[in-house]
């Protein structure tokens, strides 16, 4: 093994550079991972573009840090591990693994009650200097990480899809879907497709997918959507009401990150319906809150990361139920990270974009 490696390094919004950096050295209880694939998340793109969620504004401090290697959706092989880490994670040298995107402190109020995904320090791979990410040839798995053995017989970029899929499944869990429900999922990107797949295996009355792109709506059908509506061609609020006897949907899960999808969901839900918001927005979104309160008495829920859903995500990927070759649309070498970011921005021509170091 060489002493240096290629890595993408964050110097600020719009300033990501491919550099030679030292190969990290694992400490006691840690492991060294050879990265096989790392997905580029929409949040990576919004961070690159300087969204206030990551870099702060007059109302909040910066959350992300400079000098960090980005990348929180990854799969790789263990190349160095000690007995302590093997006992904790149940993996050995040569195993393919994934790690959850958050690296909890295991000592705050949230971690102590099992809500580790809301850890107060909230260190995540690829955003904090303490936890460098996977847009590099190697990565250290720290003691606090949540590590899962992953399938070895699938392409690594498909295995890395466990990260967005786990997030999607958590949003589905938050929705508390019932057998008689009409569930609407807005957005057929990587996370939206996972939401559709997760909702479908709950066996509701119907799953309705919304998007503006015909090929993504067709992909949504392959993931389990019963109905696919093109928002540029159909009045989706009226269409959903027509399908539900005039009432509206029982559940709406928002996975687009586009401001227009928020009032759309509020308007197509029935009274006492459930709105689950997952997306990261570049800018604040304003809505008529009287729809939520006086008009419909809606249940509005947030969803963040993938609390306890990673094993299910890995099983779903390995089940063959999902069109993984189509979901994982692009794989690029690490040095083409800028093209990868551009492809994520060009969602009409990509679905899940990954880098292969």
What pLDDT, on a 0 to 100 scale, did the predictor assign at position 307? Answer: 96
Q: Which of 202, 168, 166 is nearest to 186 (CA)?
A: 168
Token pair 């991972």 is found at 33
What pLDDT, on a 0 to 100 scale, did the predictor assign at position 118? Answer: 97
Terminal CA-to-CA distance of the chain, rounded, Å? 15
Q: In Å, what is the CA distance from 59 to each residue of 22, 52, 282, 314?
A: 36, 9, 14, 38
**Mean pLDDT, rounded, of the chain:** 96
What is the tens place of the pLDDT at every residue in 199-230? 999 999 999 999 999 999 999 999 999 999 99
Full DSSP string of 185-201: EE--SHHHHHHHHHHHT
Positions in the chain whose pLDDT score sits under 50: none
What pLDDT, on a 0 to 100 scale, did the predictor assign at position 192? Answer: 97
What pLDDT, on a 0 to 100 scale, did the predictor assign at position 257? Answer: 87
CA distance 159 to 154: 7
CATH no. of 167-302: 3.40.50.720
201 touches 312 (CB < 8 A): no
What pLDDT, on a 0 to 100 scale, did the predictor assign at position 78? Answer: 98
73 touches 163 (CB < 8 A): yes
What pLDDT, on a 0 to 100 scale, did the predictor assign at position 139? Answer: 98
What pLDDT, on a 0 to 100 scale, did the predictor assign at position 282? Answer: 76
CA atoms within 13 A on the CB side of 47: 24
Q: What residue segments make up the domains of the chain, in order of their start? A: 4-161+328-356, 167-302
344 touches 350 (CB < 8 A): yes
CATH class, 4-161+328-356 region? alpha beta
Backbone angles phi, psi at 315, to 5 degrees: -65, -40
What pLDDT, on a 0 to 100 scale, did the predictor assign at position 250? Answer: 98
15 touches 4 (CB < 8 A): no
What pLDDT, on a 0 to 100 scale, did the predictor assign at position 167? Answer: 97
What is the tens place of the pLDDT at every residue in 281-295? 877 889 999 999 999
What pLDDT, on a 0 to 100 scale, did the predictor assign at position 59? Answer: 85
What pLDDT, on a 0 to 100 scale, did the predictor assign at position 283? Answer: 79
What pLDDT, on a 0 to 100 scale, did the predictor assign at position 1? Answer: 76
CA distance 30 to 81: 7
């Amino acid at each position: 093994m060489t002493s240096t490696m290629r890595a993408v390094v964050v110097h600020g919004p719009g300033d990501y550079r491919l550099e030679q950096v030292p190969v990290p050295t694992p400490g006691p209880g840690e492991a060294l991972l050879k990265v096989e694939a790392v997905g580029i998340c929409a949040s990576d793109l919004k961070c690159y573009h300087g969204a206030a969620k990551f870099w702060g504004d007059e109302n909040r401090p910066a959350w992300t840090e400079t000098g960090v290697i980005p990348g929180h959706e990854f799969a790789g092989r263990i190349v160095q591990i000690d007995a302590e880490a093997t006992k904790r994670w149940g993996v050995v040298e040569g195993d393919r693994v994934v790690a959850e995107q958050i690296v909890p402190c295991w000592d705050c109020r949230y971690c102590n009650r099992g809500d580790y995904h809301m850890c107060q320090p909230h260190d995540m791979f690829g955003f904090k200097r303490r936890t460098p990410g996977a847009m590099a040839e190697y990565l250290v798995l720290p003691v606090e990480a949540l590590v899962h053995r992953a399938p070895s017989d699938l392409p690594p970029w498909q295995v890395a899809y466990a990260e967005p899929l786990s997030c999607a499944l958590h949003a589905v869990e938050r929705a508390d879907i019932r057998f008689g429900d009409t569930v609407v999922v807005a957005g057929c990107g990587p996370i939206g497709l996972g939401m559709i797949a997760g909702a479908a295996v709950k066996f509701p009355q119907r799953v309705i997918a919304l998007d503006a792109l015909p090929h993504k709506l067709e992909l949504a059908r392959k993931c389990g959507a019963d109905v696919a509506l093109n928002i540029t061609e159909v009045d989706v609020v009226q269409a959903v009401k027509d399908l539900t006897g005039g009432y509206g949907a029982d559940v709406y899960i928002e996975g687009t990150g586009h401001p227009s999808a928020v009032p759309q969901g509020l308007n197509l839900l029935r009274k006492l319906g459930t709105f689950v918001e997952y997306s990261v927005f570049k800018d604040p979104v304003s809505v008529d809150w009287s729809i939520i309160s006086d008009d419909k008495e809606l249940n509005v829920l947030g969803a963040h990361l993938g609390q306890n859903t990673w094993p299910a995500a890995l099983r779903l990927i390995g089940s063959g139920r999902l069109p993984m070759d189509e979901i994982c649309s692009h794989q690029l070498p690490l040095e083409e990270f800028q093209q990868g970011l551009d492809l994520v921005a060009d969602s009409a021509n990509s679905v899940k974009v990954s880098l292969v170091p």
